[in-house]
């Protein structure tokens, strides 16, 4: 007989702790470090914020089969869920504070799944200094669906916005681009890579760029994180800033594993530029701040600039010869615009 699928209970499985037993056992420990969570005993959380600060609030939901693979390890699903939200806090130049969590889980998911999921949360709470403050536990006839509302703090007036980039500003990106999108294709069996593990790890465990927050507060005129794809997200920044951007594909930073894969099949460059799931930060700075930014030693790379003219909201990608690159799509979208 085949072993049971991860998380599925069988007649031989241990009995479940039930809705409230699961909250007591797996979720209350995650709220213990945040007094405003009231030990998850009340109808809601209550907390104040330090004087001179604003609360930054962001929500992102994840659906099995859409954002992660149903068989991904539960601790990795937990990490991805928390980290994509932490990435939005970093993009707004905020420091993590607390989060609420909605778990919508199939009725037959076992306590072992939730136990491993909570272990992943505990590890990342410690790593990123964020605490659970409440949420909701519901059943669903559909796939695992998770939603986090993350809250962070920023000194009053210092949140980084998507608007604010000026003509001539330089476009920078953190880290490397394309690893996660390539990792997903490896997991889906449509790509073979000599060194697949770093790519798969980037897909399952994004690395929110919270260490960049002080640098963003000092230099960035506009910024956002890359979830849908580098080109699509830079276009979002351009849209709100009312500007057009030109980037150099050959300047986009690639990891050694991604470079090897693209070297073998140059068509994968479009996957790198538009595949998404990067959770890096794209931001703009005044050209006069370039040397001071680079002197910080931050892991950032200049990839282009904002044009003095050009159609607002557009991004032109140049290839190594300086010719515009034709891309089928700028990035991921849940709902395609077009005729009904």
Ligand X SMILES: Cc1ncc(C[n+]2csc(CCOP(=O)(O)O)c2C)c(N)n1
Question: Is 67 among the residues that bind ligand X (CB under 6 A)?
Answer: yes
Tokens representing 14 are 């241990």
Binding mask 33-72 for ligand ATP (x = CB under 6 A): ---------------------------x------------
Q: Would you count residue 260 as binding ligand X (CB under 6 A)? A: no
- Cα–Cα distance between 179 and 207 in angstroms, integer? 12
Question: Which residue intervals of the chain are DSSP H helices?
Answer: 18-22, 28-31, 74-91, 111-128, 179-187, 196-204, 213-219, 230-241, 256-264, 269-274, 290-295
Tokens of residue 113, six digits? 């799944």
- Chain-centre distance of CA 200, in angstroms? 15
Among 124, 169, 228, 277, interactor with Mg ion by CB under 5 A: 228
Candidates 111, 276, 298, 304: give the one binding ligand X (CB under 6 A). Answer: 276
How many residues in the chain?
340
Name the minimum Å distance from CB 208 to ligand ATP. Answer: 11
Contact region with ligand X (CB under 6 A), list: 58-66, 143-151, 162-170, 306-314: 58-66
d(CA 223, CA 316): 18
Counting contacts by CB under 6 A, is residue 319 touching ligand ATP?
no
Measured from the CB of residue 337, what is the shortest distance to ligand ATP in angstroms?
A: 14
48/98 Cα distance (integer angstroms): 12
What minimum distance in Å lies between the beta carbon of 25 and Mg ion?
Answer: 30
SS3 content of the chain, % helix, strand, coil (to 5): 35, 20, 40
Q: In a 3-state reduction of DSSP, which class is residue 214?
A: helix
Q: Which stretch binds Mg ion (CB under 5 A): 39-47, 138-146, 199-207, 218-226?
A: 218-226
Q: Which of residues 54-93 bind Mg ion (CB under 5 A)?
A: 60, 88
Q: Are 89 and 208 in contact (CB under 8 A)?
A: yes
Least separation in angstroms between residue 29's CB and ligand X is 28
Q: Which of 34, 72, 83, 88 binds ligand ATP (CB under 6 A)?
A: 88
Q: How many angstroms separate the CA atoms of 272 and 259, rounded?
A: 10
Distance of closest approach, residue 125 Cβ to Mg ion, in angstroms: 21
Confirm or deny that 72 is annotated as ligand binding.
no
Lay out the sheet containing 245-248: strands in order across.
222-225, 281-285, 170-174, 300-306, 245-248, 315-318
Q: Is 312 helix (H, G, I), strand (E, B) or coil?
A: coil
| 277 carries a ligand binding annotation | yes
Binding string to ligand X for residues 206 to 245, with x set by CB under 6 A, is what? ---------------------xx-----------------
Residues 224-283 contacting ligand ATP, CB under 6 A:
227-228
Q: State in angstroms the smallest separation of the CB of 188 from ligand X.
A: 7
Residue 59 is labelled as binding a ligand:
yes
Q: Minimal distance in Å, beta carbon 242 to ligand ATP?
A: 17
Q: How many whole angstroms from its chain centre is CA 268?
A: 21
Neighbouring residues of 52: CB distance < 8 A, sequence distance ≥ 6: 155, 156
Distance CA 57, CA 21 (A): 29
Known binding residues are 43, 58-60, 67, 88, 135-136, 162, 225, 227-228, 277, 332
Task: List contacts with ligand ATP (CB under 6 A).
Answer: 60, 84, 88, 227-228
Name the residues that contact ligand X, by CB under 6 A: 60, 65-69, 184, 227-228, 276-277, 332
* Contacts with Mg ion, residue ranges (CB under 5 A): 60, 88, 225, 227-228
């Amino acid at each position: 007989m085949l072993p049971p699928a991860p998380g599925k209970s069988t007649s031989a499985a241990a009995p479940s702790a039930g809705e409230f037993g699961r909250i007591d056992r797996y979720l209350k420990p995650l709220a213990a470090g945040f007094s405003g969570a009231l030990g998850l005993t009340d109808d809601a959380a209550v907390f104040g914020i330090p004087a001179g600060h604003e609360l930054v609030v962001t929500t992102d939901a994840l659906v099995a089969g859409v954002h992660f693979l149903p068989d991904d390890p539960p601790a990795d699903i937990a990490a991805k869920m928390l980290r994509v939200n932490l990435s939005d806090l970093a993009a707004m130049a905020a420091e993590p504070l607390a989060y609420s969590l909605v778990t919508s889980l199939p009725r037959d998911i076992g306590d072992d799944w939730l136990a491993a999921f909570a272990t992943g949360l505990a590890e990342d709470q410690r790593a990123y200094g964020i605490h659970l403050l409440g949420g909701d536990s519901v059943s669903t006839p559909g796939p695992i669906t998770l939603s986090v509302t993350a809250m962070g703090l920023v000194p009053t007036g210092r949140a980084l916005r998507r608007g604010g980039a000026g003509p001539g500003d330089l476009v920078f990106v953190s880290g490397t681009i394309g690893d996660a999108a390539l990792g997903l294709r490896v997991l889906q069996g449509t790509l073979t890579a000599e060194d697949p593990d770093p790519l798969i790890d980037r897909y399952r465990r994004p690395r929110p760029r919270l260490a960049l927050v002080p640098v963003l507060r000092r230099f960035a005129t506009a910024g956002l994180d890359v979830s849908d794809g580098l080109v699509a997200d830079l276009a979002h920044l351009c849209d709100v800033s009312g500007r057009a951007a030109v980037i150099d594909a050959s300047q986009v930073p690639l990891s050694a594993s991604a470079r090897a894969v693209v070297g073998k099949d140059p068509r994968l460059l479009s996957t790198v530029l538009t595949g998404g799931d990067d959770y890096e930060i794209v931001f703009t700075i005044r050209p006069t701040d370039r040397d001071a930014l680079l002197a910080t030693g931050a892991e950032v790379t200049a990839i282009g600039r904002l044009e003095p003219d050009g159609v607002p909201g557009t991004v032109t990608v140049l290839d190594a010869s300086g010719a515009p690159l034709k891309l089928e799509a700028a990035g991921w979208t849940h709902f395609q615009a077009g005729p009904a």
